[in-house]
């Protein structure tokens, strides 16, 4: 419960600070290509050109659902991209606060909460969900 509340307030804070400018909508695939492939690789399997420089290697992002018992944890993934510090403080995964600055859209969580979420962050998570094995 605490964890989902933390994610909730994190996304809410982001929602309040984002959205000053109205950049054109970018698709999750475009965002991924530009900002994520250097470490996670073009196929998202964790084999980008910079991958070998990390003590904790970039995750294989096509296996997130499998690692999570078959369910894609959208909120956790968005929190990870956004920079929720609980999980990856020791890892090399950067925070992408600026990349995800975008118009706010409403995302309905599996628990039925409507959470204002930056469009780019949701697009990235939706893209990752679409490439799960
Ligand atoms: C500078 C290298 C680097 C870049 C660029 C990068 N990542 Fe990562 N990422 C990592 C590393 C290293 C890990 C594993 C260790 C950790 O969690 O910090 C990771 C972990 C993750 C996880 C957690 C996976 C899991 O199994 O829970 C997600 C989700 C993720 N990255 C998404 C992204 C997305 C989306 C982008 C682009 C916006 C991105 N990453 C860009 C290095 C990077």
Q: Which residues lie below 8 Å from residue 64, measured CB to CB, with a gap of 6+?
A: 72, 73, 77, 128, 132
d(CA 72, CA 68): 7
Q: What is the pLDDT of residues 5-44, one digit of tens each?
A: 455 555 554 544 444 445 557 799 999 999 999 999 999 9
* Residue 59 Cα to ligand 1 middle (Å): 6
d(CA 17, CA 6): 17
d(CA 133, CA 120): 23
Residues enclosing ligand 1, CB less than 6 A? 35-36, 38-40, 50, 54, 56, 58-59, 61, 64, 67, 77, 80-81, 88, 91-94, 96, 99, 124
- Ligand 1: atom nearest CA of 32 is 37
Reference 40, options 54, 23, 20; nearest CA is 54
Q: What is the pLDDT of residues 54-110, one digit of tens each?
A: 888 899 999 999 999 999 999 999 988 887 555 554 567 787 888 888 999 999 999
């Amino acid at each position: 419960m605490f964890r989902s509340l933390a994610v909730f307030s994190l996304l809410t804070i982001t929602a309040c600070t984002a959205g000053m400018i109205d950049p054109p909508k970018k698709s999750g695939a475009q965002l991924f290509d530009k900002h994520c492939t250097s470490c996670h690789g073009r196929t998202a399997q964790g084999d980008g050109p910079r991958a070998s420089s990390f003590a904790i290697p970039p995750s294989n992002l096509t296996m997130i659902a499998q690692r999570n018992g078959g369910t894609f944890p959208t909120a956790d993934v968005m929190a990870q991209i956004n920079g929720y510090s609980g999980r990856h403080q020791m890892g090399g995964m950067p925070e992408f606060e600026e990349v995800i600055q975008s118009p706010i859209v409403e995302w309905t969580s599996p628990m039925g909460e409507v959470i204002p979420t930056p469009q780019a962050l949701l697009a990235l998570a939706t893209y990752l969900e679409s490439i799960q094995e």
